[in-house]
Structure 1
Amino acid sequence: MARIFLVLAVVLGFFWWLRQRAEARRHEERAARPGAAQGPAARQPQAAPPQEAMVQCAHCGVHLPQGEAIAYRGLYYCRRAHLPADSDADSPAA
């Protein structure tokens, strides 16, 4: 029984050694490649897109970027259907 455990320990030790060698080889290959050795955290950070103010639709309360909102009488709306009904009376009749 002790022989089985001894053989099992030797086999497991051999596989552990092979795995350590493979990890060391992969680490060396990554270090040899320029720019890849530092990993994603050390790379140059990309410029963040400019942030835009968020506004709330006066009708339904949905928040959306100010550039996508429809501004009407000092309030913001998410779509034309949410504009007040009296907006048709303000437009010139054709």
Structure 2
Amino acid sequence: MARIFLVLAVVLGCFWWLRQRAEARLREDRAARHGPAQGSPARNQPAPAQEAMVQCARCGVHLPQGEAIAYRGLHYCRRAHLPADSDPDSPAA
């Protein structure tokens, strides 16, 4: 009788092990296809900061606000696009 219980325990242990292995493989496939699961640590990390986009007042190009040149309430993509009266290289009158 003890042998039957031992064989039954081994068979049930093998089924349990195979089931756990199949579930782990399924979770890995889902994570690879759809990104990390909701409970994973990668999901709990803060999202990278998104920077506002602004448009150059002269040519209309969109660029991140951190890269734009702000002058008199407007944004410009490069120094050459600044209005002529704001040329920093010209002598002050």
Give TM-score, length-normalised by structure 2: 0.52
What CA distance in whole angstroms lies between the structure 1 residues aligned with 2:47 and 2:22? 31
CA deviations over 1:47-91 (Å, ceiling 9, x no partner):
211122211100000111111100111110001111111213895
| RMSD, aligned CA | 3.3
Gaps of 5+ in 2: 1-17
Change (3 A) 1:91 1:38: same
What is the TM-score with the length of structure 1 in the denominator?
0.51
Q: 2:36 aligns with which of 34, 37, 41?
A: 41
Gaps of 5+ in 1: 1-24
What is the aligned length? 66
Supply the distance in 1 between the matched residues of 2:47 and 2:90 (Cα, whole angstroms).
41
Cα shift readout 1:13-42 (whole Å, capped 9, x = no counterpart): xxxxxxxxxxxx8x937727xx84762331
Percent identity for Structure 1 against Structure 2:
68
Residue in structure 2 matched with residue 53 of structure 1 by the alignment:
52
Aligned CA distance change for structure 1 residues 83 and 41 (closer, same or farther; 3 Å): same
- Provide the residue aligned with 2:79 in structure 1: 80
Whichever residue aligns with residue 41 of structure 1, its letter is P
